[in-house]
Structure 1
Amino acid sequence: MTQIPKLLVTAGILLIIVGIIWQVGGKFISLGKLPGDIFIKRGNTTFYFPIVTSIVISIVLSFLLFIIGRFR
């Protein structure tokens, strides 16, 4: 039962770090506006589906989790 609080604190710290990197890195990398993302604007209706961004994030997270799993 003592592992859960440590896990939540670690996850919170990681989310804060990722958020800061995303804010600062947004000036250099436009993650969320990649070519291939679906953007439709008709009249006063806008539809946005970041499919390529989702694929890139999925690949990066899969690679990171693979690397972390290798060292366990």
Structure 2
Amino acid sequence: MAPQLGKLLLLLGLGLAVLGAFIWLGGGSLLSWFGRLPGDIRVERPGFRLYVPLVSILLVSLLISLIIWLVRRLG
């Protein structure tokens, strides 16, 4: 079981590195909508700023759940 877990962690790490490089090199403009979705709470007042990205976090959770489901289904 350990070799399979090692391969999975390596693939996830490489995927995160590719995604990070993509955003860092200017591809982040494609993701500019992320964090500004309807349902994300933003309150700005003088001396106070509150930001709660509810819908964005739900979207990330859904994506991660889908990836885990696919890995379990295919593996």
The answer to whether the superposition gives a TM-score over 0.5 is yes
Q: Which residue of 2 aligns with 1:38?
A: 41
Bigger helix share: 2
Q: Which of 65, 68, 71 is the equivalent residue of 2:71?
A: 68
Instruction: Find the aligned partners of 2:70 and 2:8 in 1 and give their Cα distance.
Output: 19
CA deviations 1:15-67 (Å, max 9, x no partner) are 2112134x11x312321111110100111211101110000000011011101
Q: Does 1:50 align with 2:59?
A: no
Where does structure 1 lack aligned partners over 5 or more consecutive residues? none
Instruction: Find the aligned partners of 1:50 and 1:43 in 2 and give their Cα distance.
Output: 20
Under a length normalisation based on structure 1, what TM-score does the superposition of the two structures give? Answer: 0.73
Where does structure 2 lack aligned partners over 5 or more consecutive residues? none
- Root-mean-square deviation (CA, aligned residues, Å) is 2.3
Q: Does 1:12 align with 2:13?
A: yes
Aligned length: 69
Instruction: Find the aligned partners of 1:7 and 1:66 in 2 and give their Cα distance.
Output: 13
What is the letter of the counterpart of residue 13 of structure 2? Answer: G
Q: Percent identity?
A: 29
Under a length normalisation based on structure 2, what TM-score does the superposition of the two structures give? Answer: 0.71
